[in-house]
Every structure is written in structure tokens, then in C-alpha cells.
Structure 1
Amino acid sequence: MSLREVLRHARYDADGVLERIGELGQEGLQRNITVPATVALAGQHDELATLIRLFILQEEVGMEEAAFLLDDAADFLEQTEHGVRALVDIRPYGSEDDGASGWAVADLTPGMDTATTPTRRDYVLGVSSASTTLAQMTMRTQIGSALDLGTGCGVQSLHLSRHAERVVATDVNARALKLARVTAELSGAEVDFRQGSLFEPVQGEKFDLIVSNPPYVMSPPSDSRLMYRETNFSGDELLQAILREAPRHLNPGGSIQLLVNWAVVDGQPWEERIRGWVEGNGMDLFVLERERMDKFSYIELWLADAGLAGSEEWVYAYDRWLKYFEDLGIEEVGMGWLLMTDAGRATPHVRIESWPHAVHQPVGEVFARHRSAVDAATLPLDDLLASRPRIVDVTQETFGEPGAADPEYIVLRQSTGLRRAMKVDTVLAAVLGSLDGDLTVGQVIAAVAELLEKDPTALSLEIAPKVREALEEQYLRLD
């Protein structure tokens, strides 16, 4: 029996584990605390309980209890005085929205139960909130080829293999590739793994989709840098390098999606910095800043992540990092989502904005529809008026004084995707609300103009910019 069959036979999957450790056990693990899960497993010694203890809770298990694993998981276990311990974290993985499932293999979680242990330089991170976010924002349209740039434990490749005919995954970390291969094998995904930095392993190749959560932590240069999060690039030059080279690796219509950080430099608007990196490359760009951190909070976050909290190195490392940021002029760090597409436009469409608000995950469909939304929003006026868009997943909210004849203002709010909100007047609300995919924009505007006794041509010119905005922001969809 293969290890995959052993795991399946024991029902070592996301549902099986949650059923055993319960919600409190799961929440404890999200805090890197094993106690609630250990309590939930008290007195249980079957195969599923043993797998949870070994590969998630990092407990030592007796030789007899682990006997069913010894032949097939020997490479992932070490013998101790009283039994065996896991050398890696093998954790069930499941995604409800696209069905990607299997097991993610990574290094054991450091700092479990508040233990302060230094992180090895070639440490391979498991499924994190960042990797989950990237998976949720990735377009899921059927494509021919995909590149998982900086694959880590390989979880993005599991998703890509669901909708790409061919998946290539790269990483500079040989240990990451080793564990990612096991992730793919256990999960039944076919992936072409290659070692090398950035695009070096795929020179001369092009893809329909590239995804990456690159090692974006902006830390001072160090020989002891953590490979999964840091590089020798200065500041946010890694992001700049990816954006410069990515166009050469995209098929016509292809896209790259990134979950990244960028520096907010004193005296320069962050939007202008990013815009300058892609100027002249012919690509559409869509950037959403999801979070902003001051330099102190940012440094403290990553020093703690490196296991330096409470250590003698904390103050020295903090001061060194502050000096590094001071030299680069970095006051804050932006964190967000980036989509760049070879849309073939004579004038590329660039939209960069801050969007820290709650969204409805997964948001992959928002990015998948972005190009067609821009196409619709930039139609010539005659074509726009002849189009038949429909309003989708939008609710209308009205506000005003009780008993008033008309509302003070009206808000159209998306119930899915980015959950944007648009303040409109009664005329615009009537136009947008009447677009059902059957009537043209021109027909609806003409009907509203007749009702209000307005000139339809003048109303068209007045309403068209708002219709374009509603199309680009996906209140309206032109299928």
C-alpha cells in the first residue's frame, strides 16, 4: 500500500481531521497551539489519531502505534528512544470552491506551543493565509499552460492542475522542490518541477497564466536570510524584476497574478512608483492595495516570524532593519494583489487603488472577468449604446428621512466579489437597474428620457460615463 493509500484508508483528510479535533482544536492550531486538539484526541489511538499526532501535533508516537506507517512513510519519520517522530508536516488540504484536494507537505511548524526555535534557512512553509489568499484570487478559467513561480510546498500547483493542461513549478530552494514533489505525488497532480531563480528555469517559454507569492519580505541583506520569504534584492526590487521579465513569458492574452509587498517611499505616491515599473511594457495592470503597515509594525512582524521574539538578537536585528529602511527611504509597506495582462491594447489600461474593505472570497472571478470588463467599458459610444449588459449580484439600498417623497441617496452594492458600492441618483439607478441583458443601453436610456421628459441624446452623454464605470467595476456584465 502506498503512502497515499494509507492516508486515504485512514480518512486523513480535511473533514476527517476536523471531525476529530473539533473547531476548538482547529482554532488552536491556527494560533500554533496544540493543546485543544490534544485534549480532543485523548484516549484515541487509531490510525487517524496517530497521523494527526505525528504530522500535525508533532508528538512522539509509539512504534507499535505507528507500525502501519513504517514501510511507506519511512523517509518522513525518525526513530526516537520510545518510538518515532515526524520529520515533516503532512497535512490534509481541501478547497471547496475548485475541488483541489490532497496533502501539502512542508517543514514542521516552528514555534508550536510558544517554543522559540530558530527557523532553518531553507525552511519550507506549509499552507499559510498568504497561499490561501493567492489561491482564492487566482483565475480558474481553463487554460493550456501555467507557471507556479516560487512554488514552495506546491499548493498553488494543486489548484493550477485543476484547470491547466500543463503546469510548471519552479523554486530556487532545492528542499522546497523536494517536498513539493511529494505534495504533487500524494495529491495526484502532474507537475513539471524545475530548480532555479525566478524565470531562469523557463527561459524561452511562455504561459497563459503565471502565479506567485514570491519571497517579498524587505529585510536587510544577510547570509542567514530565510529563503521562503527573503532574497538578496534591495527593497522591493524583486517585484520590479518580476514585472520587467514577466511579459516575455506570457502568451497573447496571458496574465500574471501576484500576492506581493511594495515599499511606500517618503515623498512619492505609491501608485506612481508602481505605474512607473510597467510604463511602456504594453500590459494592462490592475493593483489593489489590501493593507498598509508602518515600518515598525512590519519589522516586528517578521522578526517574530523568524523566531527572534524574546531573544538577545531582537534589539540588534530591529536597529539594523530600521537603518536599512531609513537608507531606502521606506516609511510604510503596502501589501496587495496584482494582475498584469497582455491584453493587446494600443493604450494599456492601468488601474491602481487602495481596497482594504471586506471581499467575498474567492475573488478569482473578479480577476478573470477584468479584461472583458475593461473591453466593455472602453467601447466606442455607439457600440456602448448598442450593447446589452445585465446587472449582476447587486442590491439597492435607499436612505432618507421618514416620509420623504424621494430618498436622500441611493447606493448600489455588490453582494459578491470585491463588494464595491456605488452612490447613484434616481436616474442612474433606473438605468442600471433596467439593464437585464435583453434591452440595449440606448433603449433603456431612451425609455428613461421619455419618462422624465429629457432629451435622450443629452441623457446618453450624461449617463454613458457612469455606465462605463459600472461595466469596469463589474456591477454590469456584458457576456
Structure 2
Amino acid sequence: MERLREHLLETGYTIDGVRERLGDMAAGALAREELVPALRATSDGDPLGTLIRLWWLGVPVPASSLPQAVLESGLVRPEGEQVVATVHLQPWETGGYVVSDRKVRPGDAALRPDHVVGAGGASANLAQLVSRRPVGRALDLGTGCGVQVLHLAGRADEIVATDVNARAIELSRLSWALSSVSGVTAHTGSLFEPVADELFDLVVSNPPFVIAPAGRLTYREVGGDAFCRDLVRQAPRHLNPGGQAHFLANWLHVEGEDWRERVGGWLGEGGCDGWVVQRDVQDPAEYVELWLRDAAEQGTPAWAARYDEWLAWFEELKVEGIGFGWISLRNSGSLDPVVRVEHMTQQVELPVGGYVDEVLDAIVSAHRASGLDQAKLRTVDGLLDERVGLPGAEDPMKIVLRQTRGLRRTREVGTVEAALAGVCDGDLALGPLLNVIAELVGDGEQLSADALRPLIAEGFFTL
């Protein structure tokens, strides 16, 4: 693996090298599962183009064009005078490499049950969410191809990885070796079973969250949303004081049931402060189509039957939609944990992990802070005051506070909150300041200090 890594780096088989070689058009076509532009861009037979064809596009290349480091890696097989990759090997943004099973494309054979999917959008989303603070012990639960370990390396003194799929552990070890990451402890088993009595400062998981009637594919399906529920409920038992957990999850929107209560209930029993963000909702048909295409089943004889079976199962469960989002937990040791559940679709500043600690602090402090009249608030940096009104009108029809940093939330406010945002610099106590503003506004509008808790929780003001 060390010789292979040296060859990959010398050849320029890196994120930047592949992007530059393919160009925007070929990269865009690959996102639509079209290979022709990428094949044209790599047709010169040079070392980099050959590696892209072999590892990324999964097409045969002449054996004579490859060095011994590739031929003896154990990750290719001969086919006459040509060589075919037995895995998908992709450079990753950490400067490392990720090894997985070959990417399935329309027309390929059905996926094997223990298929190990490569790193993609979900992997990147989770990595962007996880706190950037250094930790002692970290757990990557359901490591898959091992990509989250690459992000944790350098931030965690000790890393443990688990997966129910033994093949995932096998390929993840290759990912870590090619990325020069050592010292990872890996176990095979479901959920927290392999680490039953262990505690961690950080737990991350990109679990098999796809909600499907039968768990045909280990890497993504486990039936309903109970797996994500159990993951969230069990995680607090494995967190050190102050420890955090960050997960991706899907959840059901069931007829007659508020999804916020459904998912919030998962967190309410664990004793941890929590933050749930729904980033997207799909109707059942959209959801089924997405994941059938993901398994390259579009256009196959089984497409219609599986589509119908899936929809019938959703109908039986009275499912109206499926939500996707983030779940973060923090073991604060409180007997009164704070849980915030919200729907958020706007673009946010990345990485969220760079300020997720501040987000959790704001949610908790807004709930627990006492004596807000004496608090000295400060307006968050980068806050904009936007006003909408008729031309020439003395007063605006609407005032909106807009964050230009972090989660980029917006909230419509009244004249008192807007005036407070203009003068709130942390020097004066909130109670007297609100009294002065009420007098200056002159319209009799009064606002209690406690009424500002939502704006504190959402990060418009800081304590």
C-alpha cells in the first residue's frame, strides 16, 4: 500500500489532479452517470489518465501501461493483455484515499448484499457537521469504507471504528493504509455491541438510514426508521461528560403525527442536549425513485415490482413523507436536557462543525439562562437589518434580521428587536436597555427580556 500511495501521489491522482484533468463538462457528466466525456478526457494513455480510467471510471486499461506498484497491489485482476480494477479507489479531500466496491452504474449486475459503497455526498455532509474540537477517544460507528476516520485522524488521540459488514472493515483498512492513517482499532458488529462498555468523547455515524421494506443492501437499508431511533437513544450511554455525537438520519412523516415530536422523542430520553435539523423532505414516490436509481435498478425488470412493493409498504404505514437531516447530541450532565428540532433548508456556512459548539451553547443558554433583565447581550457579527416598505412611507411594512455567517438564519422582528440589534454591544443590561428603547420608539410597544430567548437560541444575540 505504501508503494501504491507513492505512485498515486507522483502521478497526480489527487482531488485537484482529477478535477483539473477531467474539467467541468466531464465532471458534470459523471454526476449524471455518463462516462463518455470523461473517457474522451483521459484517452491520451498518459499515467494520470490511465489511473483515472482504471480506478475512477472502472474500465480496462493495458497492463503494459501500469507500474508494478499497481499490478502487485492485489486490487486489480488481469483480463488478457488488459487489467481491470476490483475496487473503486478515489482520492479524498483530506489528502487520503478511499477504497470501496466498484461503483454500480445502469446496466451493471445487481449489487452484492455486502456491497461497500464509496464516499459521496452523505459522507461529506457528515464530515462537515462534526465538531472540529480535538478529542481523546472517537468512535466511527458504521465506518463503511472508512472515510470518516480520515477526517478524525489528527483530531482524535484514539479512533475506534465498527461495522456490521466484515467486508467494510476489510476495505476500510485499505483506505487507512493508503492514507497513512495508523493505529485505528476496528471491530465487526451492529450498533454499539462491539464497544458495549466503552466511553468516547466523540461518536460519529453515517448509518444505514434508507427506509425500505426489506434490508436487501446492508450498507444502506435496515427497515424503518427504528435503527436511527435506536442509534440516538443508545449513544448517550457511550459519551464521556461533555462528549458529543453527530449523525445523519432519515425519519418518517406519518399521517396524524408531528415529525418534530417523533424525532424529538428519540432525544428526550437520553439525558443529552440535542439539536435536530431537517434539511429535506421527499414524498414517498420521490424517495423510492431516488434509492432505486442509487442501486442502478432503473430500467431493470425488477424496477416496477420493487417500486410498487415499496409504495405499498409506505401506504400501510401511513407515510406521507420522509425527512433527511442531522442529529447532534452533547452530554452536558443536566437533569433538564434541552432539545431543539427545526426545519432548515437555506445554505449554511461550511463546515458547520467549525461552529456547532456555539450553536449548541446558544440553544442551551437561551433555555437555561435566568435573570435576562441583567444579562448583557451582544449582537452577533455579520447581522443585517433588512426593511421592506412602500416608497416614501415613514415606517416599514416588514423588518427582517438576517445572519450572513454560520447558519444564516432569518427572522422577521418588530421595531424594538430591530432597535436592540442596533445598540446591543454587551455594555448595558438588557432590562434597562429595553425600557429606553420602548420610550424612544414611542408607539407603546413593550418587550420583556424573556421574549428574546428565541433570538438568543437562534444566534442573533449572544450572552
The TM-score by the shorter chain falls in which range?
Answer: over 0.9
- SS at structure 2 position matched to 1:64: helix
CA distance in 2, matches of 1:70, 1:129: 28
Aligned to 1:146: 138
CA distance in 2, matches of 1:200, 1:379: 35
Structure 1 position 207, deviation (Å): 1.1
1:179 equivalenced with 2:168 (yes/no): no
Alpha-carbon displacement from aligned partner over 1:223-264 (angstroms, at most 9, x marks no partner): xx1111012xx4111112112211111111222211111112
CA distance in 1, matches of 2:152, 2:462: 26
Aligned to 1:30: 31
Aligned to 1:102: 96
- With over 3 angstroms needed to count, the CA separation of the structure-2 counterparts of 1:375 and 1:288, relative to structure 1, is closer
CA distance in 2, matches of 1:437, 1:180: 49
Contact 1:389–1:441 (8 Å) recurs in 2: no
1:413 pairs with 402, 415, 432, which one? 402
Q: Which letter does structure 2 place at the counterpart of 1:146? A: A
Structure 1 position 381, deviation (Å): 4.2
CA distance in 1, matches of 2:389, 2:432: 30
CA distance in 2, matches of 1:118, 1:296: 22
2:348 pairs with 359, 379, 386, which one? 359
CA distance in 2, matches of 1:453, 1:322: 59
Q: Quote the RMSD (CA, aligned, Å).
A: 2.3
Contact 1:282–1:344 (8 Å) recurs in 2: yes
Aligned to 1:470: 455
Alpha-carbon displacement from aligned partner over 1:123-174 (angstroms, at most 9, x marks no partner): 1111111111111111111221211110111111111223222211111111
- With over 3 angstroms needed to count, the CA separation of the structure-2 counterparts of 1:379 and 1:294, relative to structure 1, is closer
Aligned to 1:404: 393
Contact 2:273–2:364 (8 Å) recurs in 1: no
Aligned to 2:50: 50
Aligned to 2:156: 164
CA distance in 2, matches of 1:286, 1:376: 13
Alpha-carbon displacement from aligned partner over 1:362-400 (angstroms, at most 9, x marks no partner): 222453223311343135443563334342222221111
Q: What residue ranges of structure 2 are gaps of 5+ in the alignment?
A: none
Structure 1 position 426, deviation (Å): 2.6
Structure 1 position 13, deviation (Å): 0.9
Structure 1 position 103, deviation (Å): 1.0
Count of residue pairs the alignment pairs up = 461
Contact 2:27–2:38 (8 Å) recurs in 1: yes
Structure 1 position 438, deviation (Å): 4.5
Deviates more, 1:206-215 or 1:298-307: 298-307
1:424 equivalenced with 2:413 (yes/no): yes
1:198 pairs with 188, 191, 197, which one? 191
CA distance in 1, matches of 2:160, 2:421: 43
CA distance in 1, matches of 2:264, 2:70: 55
TM-score (norm 2): 0.93
- SS at structure 2 position matched to 1:235: coil
CA distance in 1, matches of 2:461, 2:40: 51
- With over 3 angstroms needed to count, the CA separation of the structure-2 counterparts of 1:6 and 1:440, relative to structure 1, is farther
Aligned to 1:84: 83
CA distance in 1, matches of 2:352, 2:208: 23
User: Runs of at least 4 residues of structure 1 off by over 6 A?
Assistant: none
Alpha-carbon displacement from aligned partner over 1:385-437 (angstroms, at most 9, x marks no partner): 33343422222211111122232221111113322101122321121232234
Structure 1 position 454, deviation (Å): 9.7
Contact 1:138–1:257 (8 Å) recurs in 2: yes
Deviates more, 1:286-295 or 1:362-371: 362-371
Q: Which letter does structure 2 place at the counterpart of 1:228? A: Y
Aligned to 1:436: 425
Aligned to 1:123: 115
Aligned to 2:42: 41
TM-score (norm 1): 0.90
- With over 3 angstroms needed to count, the CA separation of the structure-2 counterparts of 1:371 and 1:357, relative to structure 1, is closer
CA distance in 1, matches of 2:308, 2:398: 51
CA distance in 1, matches of 2:178, 2:139: 20
Aligned to 2:281: 292
Aligned to 2:266: 277
Contact 2:376–2:427 (8 Å) recurs in 1: no
User: Counterparts in 2 of 1:343-382, with a 5 A limit?
Assistant: 343-382=332-371
Alpha-carbon displacement from aligned partner over 1:259-290 (angstroms, at most 9, x marks no partner): 11111222222122223333333222221111
Contact 2:141–2:205 (8 Å) recurs in 1: yes
- With over 3 angstroms needed to count, the CA separation of the structure-2 counterparts of 1:373 and 1:75, relative to structure 1, is same
2:257 pairs with 255, 263, 268, which one? 268
Q: Which letter does structure 1 place at the counterpart of 2:457? A: E
Contact 1:432–1:467 (8 Å) recurs in 2: no
Aligned to 1:74: 73
Alpha-carbon displacement from aligned partner over 1:166-207 (angstroms, at most 9, x marks no partner): 211111111111111111121122322211111111111111
CA distance in 1, matches of 2:302, 2:263: 34
| Percent of residue pairs bearing the same amino acid type | 41
Q: What residue ranges of structure 1 are gaps of 5+ in the alignment?
A: 95-99
Contact 1:134–1:258 (8 Å) recurs in 2: yes
